[in-house]
Amino acid sequence: MTRIGFAYNQKPEHESVGAAATELARPEEEPPSSGTRSDSAVATLLAPAPDDEFAEWDSAETIDAVARALAKYGEVIRLEARDDFPQRLADERPDILFNIAEGLRGPNREAHVPAICEFYGVPYSGSDPFTLALCLDKARTKEVLRANGVPTADWALVRSADDLARVAMRDWRYPLFAKPVHEGSSKGITERNVVSDVDGLRGISLELLERYAQPVLVETFLPGAEFTCGVLGNGGDARVLPIVGMNFGALPDGALPIYGFEAKWLWDRPENPLDIFSCPARVSDALRAEIEDVVLRAYTVLGCRDWSRVDVRLDAAGRANIVEVNPLPGILPDPADNSCLPKAARAAGIGYDALIGACLEAAAARQGVALGGAA
């Protein structure tokens, strides 16, 4: 029987992302749909930052659902990515490891588990340490995309408070969008990140530098529609699942058209889900083909493997631009949770267990690992 290691990070039991978060104050007036707002609105929004430390980690429900799906292929050995993970992996030596561990510390945290697997010679699912570290660095990702002709918004990096003057003096076309360079799961991304002037840019940049102790990516705000795209497979077999479109009209009145921390963890609750996604997205055949082309090019040049989720937004001319690439995509099993990769898979006729199986099978085929047959 195939022995399948399963690496993950589980949210602490006392943590509930969203429930523990402080709901952000909202301006009395409705911000313009372009993403700009007045200085008074910016000041009103300066509320306590949400508690997002474990936003990237998975719940017990997700971990159990993945383990059940993997059990169809062999014996599942749970290896939580804690301090004892290297020794447990060395002791267990599974035939292959299924990895969803996000890590906790440092800009290369998502690369820790696969790097340890490579050290011990254990095959694993998903992208390699270089790609995981690269994609978690939003600025380096954009550099690679731009160097390979894959469209992405113009950007600059604020590394310190002293760096702000240089970045602020650029000939920017506002609004701009600022976010931590090394975070995922919308950590550090709220409505306050959209800024309409130099004062707004300075305020949010200093706040993010202090809170997250890492550089801040500043980029041109893309005003068009937003999409997220799941990708399965490798090489010529890689395919884009049905595109998920964002319906920002489902957000609370006056909300800005971004899918940030508020939308993901505060406003979208299982008891009152936001009708924010449309899948398959209602787009023309030409736009669908353009999005799929850009997504696959990004997936390829960044070295993604087995699966990923790629975020796309249209610029003022209606052209598709890559926003971010997530080679460790969220995979919440409950459809009410609005998890985009499982949603796209369902639209393609792929159930949750089959989605997990597709990633495992792609990883096993890539590395010559024999699996037990799926039930």
- The DSSP code for 250 is G
pLDDT mean over 179-184: 86
Residue 284 confidence class, pLDDT cut points 50, 70, 90: very high
Burial label for 22, CB within 10 Å (0-12, 13-18, 19+), is exposed
The pLDDT of residue 37 is 36
In whole angstroms, how far apart are CA 10 and each of 15, 60, 300, 328, 335?
10, 6, 30, 15, 20
Instruction: Look up tokens 């159930």; give the residue.
Output: 351
70: pLDDT strictly greater than 70: yes
Give residue 374's pLDDT band: very low, low, confident or very high (50, 70, 90): low
Contact 246, 226 (CB under 8 A): yes
For 255-282, what is each residue's pLDDT tens digit? 888 888 778 777 877 777 778 899 999 9
CA distance 258 to 251: 9
Model confidence at 24, in pLDDT bands (50, 70, 90)? very low
pLDDT digits (tens, 9 = 90+) for 25-69: 333 323 222 333 333 233 333 344 445 556 678 899 999 999 999
Supply 372's token pair: 């037990």
pLDDT higher than threshold 50 for residue 361: yes
